[in-house]
Structure 1
């Protein structure tokens, strides 16, 4: 009788946001997105560098891998062909019916080839495909650490599923599971609609939806409210998309995601680099408002189907912090949780967990609940500054947290590179740019000379968990910067730089146990200024991934308006 496997590799590969995770005897060794090591944002490549790091970290070889879990299941695509007669019957979808079937079939065949290629890379391992939304569900639920919760996953597309509701349970075995209770299939896709409008507004679909979310705060949703109420119709069990506004999805290029009718009713497509005008702001505002309404409806349905007062959110749409904040403010639930990596990269971890359970692998799962610092660390890396002759290094001794707090209080904008890399799209203090929110013009300086991005985009605050209620009204923990919170009068008066035009802030609460160094910096900054709040944004510039290696961080310092970089106790200046 074959013994249960003990080494499980989970992969998100050959699609955007390539990543890898490794479980050994049920314990998470690590998780990292490939872009943090390769420098290629949203890379689709097989995560060779991520896998190589995981092997070193665990002291294993490729031959030791017993199960390779992949975050898509090929069979899920092939059912689209059987739906073709349904789309042929309607004049609104007929033209796309056959191309749609061909596209889904092609992707299904491509997924089978990818699974075979993984078998060649790991010839001694069983290759285990996992339904995409199941991987999302497990990532969201297991990271919460709860023993039960409703689990709502909303993305653009996973095989054919776009929205799922499940009930998460953590039995005494320590192996979390999520029972699927409801699934919506494409073309009912909130992620598809948001991405389509993002593209129409001149930003990159699948990358810059957050820019549209920020732009929405400047607009008036009333102008296009009725259009989006028609285009995204709420039903008793979910929602549908109007194909005369958002045409039927085809998985190949050359098929626009918004119709000519949509353009006639709104505006011509904005070219990248053109000014964002009032019509663009109003369109973004109406899209965001409808997203909030649909998500509130889905959250309520998840609560009612499961009977749970706790909700875990996953999928790309769960990165919309404004919507998450609206769900919390509505009071439908006692607590809402978003994992640090809710998007597709995080499904590498979910796939590994699914395979671990399906193969009855060794050990209960450990090292996942509440964890966010899961990537590589470089505690004693030698810094070769020869590529950047303007940089100077100083070895710090003594109180590094106090030193950093002093520099920030004096107005310096500083990159912080320490410990293990964060999981997910948000900088959480280990690969961050920090600045004082008390300095006049800091937001303008950050956008114009450090991040090189649109001037209307806000910056998120981090605050010591003990003082969060003094400045923010969220009323629950927000360790992964995934929720927009209302602000108090104290925040408006003392730190208006972190308050967006809609009166919210994308909050990160930092506890002493979560990140001792950053918590101490916040405390020391608070002692010096009276305000334990800092601006925190990711250590990168627009169009580049968050810096995952020392060389990437040094290049960011040299090529931007950063004043300095604190990298593992070493102070680098220009």
Structure 2
């Protein structure tokens, strides 16, 4: 007779695919073997393609074949989309939403069918595995909570759309395995991610990619100019918020339906084309959007504190990448501590979906390798570097003093790419695929934006600092290992390292400890011995429009085709 234990999956593959930010994660007996976003290997930013290279690396890393996979966890449940059909049809009762009722109902039904088809495609690649769809927000919740390493916490997920959910508040606790209890939730069209993406597009940037540019632009504007618009368009309720369809028409899951209304444009400004100059009115619109986003997020955090009773908060979903809003939650003192996982967006749901299937299987094997980790992707410890394809590049090996050497070059004003160890999870470079520069160098921000990153001149750069000295320069009051929180700065920072201070007086810092990243900690300490400042500028090893470099070839391309002075690639110093 077969027992329940015989059915416990020991090899669980988590997959985010077919929508955006494709990624894969692998759990074996509860241990996270690895996680990587497909873009880091395919060079296609935010790719929606099936993560074939990511999965191939994971299976190779574990030394297994597709036939060894017991369960595949997918990060959406198709049946949940169908529940939107009657709700969408009810929109026909209002003149404001009538024109979108039938297309919206049809779109959600179509996505339900499409998601079922995707599950069948996964089953074809893994014929011996059980393919399990996981509720999208549950995957977010588990990804955020298990990464925190806490025994108990409130969990707030805010994104654009997961099946129908857009915002959820839950309470999580860890005993033998993680448990998440849903407390409250909002469904589309009450979507903060939808609103932010819609205005990003209205301002001429790519929705789903360049919301961070709008957040940076907001620091230059005056929110008062359009505050009244956003107060009406996104109004708070006792349990969350609602979106006025007169400004942001309900979502239709088909292209060709604008996300902002003519009224929104009339009360703010006409849509900006990407090649048009950025004007004061665009800055003010971005500022009002960001201000309202922060107000709503703080309102949701207070609600999470009230209904959960917890003094710790985990935040997930795409809106969790809005580091200024996260910093505002911390500054408000609502919770004793706030945590954002390294991959809070959809890519990270590959981990959360795998955890869900592992947990639901009844396995008693504890999870490991997830809490407080971010370096989860492929490494290339001794790459064979044939520089024939990059004429003009030359290399030399460095000895054991690589950290001292790098610190010295940075102190002398060089801008250096760093490629070492395993690829980071999530949208931030955290010292393994980074571009580093001295914040003491005159004009460094202008040079980085214009000749290295090729991006807008108003974009700020994040500092990394040794955790033990963070309070000298930043007021955040807690660790920020994944560069996910904006902090106010001290007078010492304004006086000594103004290059890392954005126009709104904040900096999106990363705190570094020796256990977390030994090499970067050594570099920061060596830089401090030379300059007195344990702070470096850290931005991702890529140029605008390209993903963070996941392979040596991508890093060499970045060096050859940008204003980088040099690249330190696994102990090799490569220059032009």
Query: Which TM bucket (shorter chain)?
Result: over 0.9
2:216 corresponds to which of 204, 209, 214 = 214
User: Aligned ranges for residues 93-108 of structure 1 at < 5 Å?
Assistant: 93-108=97-112
Aligned equivalent of 1:571: 573
The answer to whether the 8 Å contact 1:341/1:425 transfers is: yes
* 1:289 has 2:291 as partner: yes
2:510 to 493, 497, 508: 508
TM-score where L is the length of structure 2:
0.99
Aligned to 1:54: 58
Distance 1:502 1:223 in 2: 17
Q: 2:124 aligns with which of 116, 120, 123?
A: 120
Q: Is the 8 A contact 1:224 1:286 kept in 2?
A: yes
Structure 1: how far apart are the matches of 2:362 and 2:435? 42
Show the 5 A alignment for 1:272-351.
272-351=274-353
Find the aligned partners of 1:544 and 1:142 in 2 and give their Cα distance: 30
Contact 2:145–2:155, Cα closer than 8 Å, also in 1: yes
Q: Deviation digits for residues 459-518 of structure 1, max 9, x if unmatched?
A: 000000010000000000000000000000000000000000000000000001100000
Q: Deviations over 1:363-385 (max 9, x none)?
A: 11100000000000000110110
- Contact residue 436 and residue 537 of structure 2 kept, 8 A: yes
Matches within 5 A, 1:149-548: 149-171=153-175, 173=176, 175-361=177-363, 363-548=365-550
Counterpart Cα distance in 2 of 1:560 and 1:86: 53
Q: Give the drift of 1:273.
A: 2.1
User: CA–CA distance in 2 between the matches of 1:369 and 1:84?
Assistant: 40
Q: SS in structure 1 opposite 2:73? A: strand
How far 1:362 sits from its partner (Å)? 5.9
**1:137 corresponds to:** 141
Corresponding residue of 1:39: 43
Residue 296 of structure 1, CA deviation: 0.3
User: CA offset at residue 15 of structure 1?
Assistant: 1.1
Aligned pair count? 572
Q: Distance in 2 between matches of 1:63 and 1:195?
A: 40
Quick check: 1:4–1:362 contact (8 Å CA) kept in 2? no
Structure 2 gap ranges (5+): none
Tell me the SS of whatever aligns to 1:215. Answer: helix
Residue 22 of structure 1 aligns to a residue in which SS?
strand
In structure 2, the residue corresponding to 1:30 is in which secondary structure? strand
Q: Which runs of 4+ in 1 moved over 2 A?
A: none
- SS in structure 1 opposite 2:215? helix
**Alpha-carbon separation, structure 1, partners of 2:395 and 2:125:** 42
Contact 1:5 1:362 in 2 (8 A): no
Residue from 24, 27, 32 that aligns with 1:23: 27
CA RMSD, aligned part only? 0.6
Retained in 2: the 8 A contact 1:25–1:362?
Answer: no
Q: Deviations over 1:319-346 (max 9, x none)?
A: 0000000010011110000000000000
CA contact (8 A) 1:372 1:423 kept: yes
Could you say what secondary structure the match of 1:313 adopts? strand
Counterparts of 2:271 and 2:425, CA distance in 1: 34
Shift, 1:269, TM fit? 0.5
Deviations 1:100-149 (CA, angstroms, capped at 9, x unpaired): 00000000000000001111110000000000000000000000000000
- Please say if residues 89 and 102 of structure 2, whose CA atoms lie closer than 8 Å, have aligned partners that are also in contact: no
| Partner SS, residue 157 of structure 2 | strand
Q: Which moved more, 1:410-419 or 1:357-366?
A: 357-366
- State the alpha-carbon separation in 1 of the partners of residues 423 and 351 from structure 2: 15
Could you say what secondary structure the match of 1:218 adopts? coil
2-structure distance, mates of 1:6, 1:452: 46
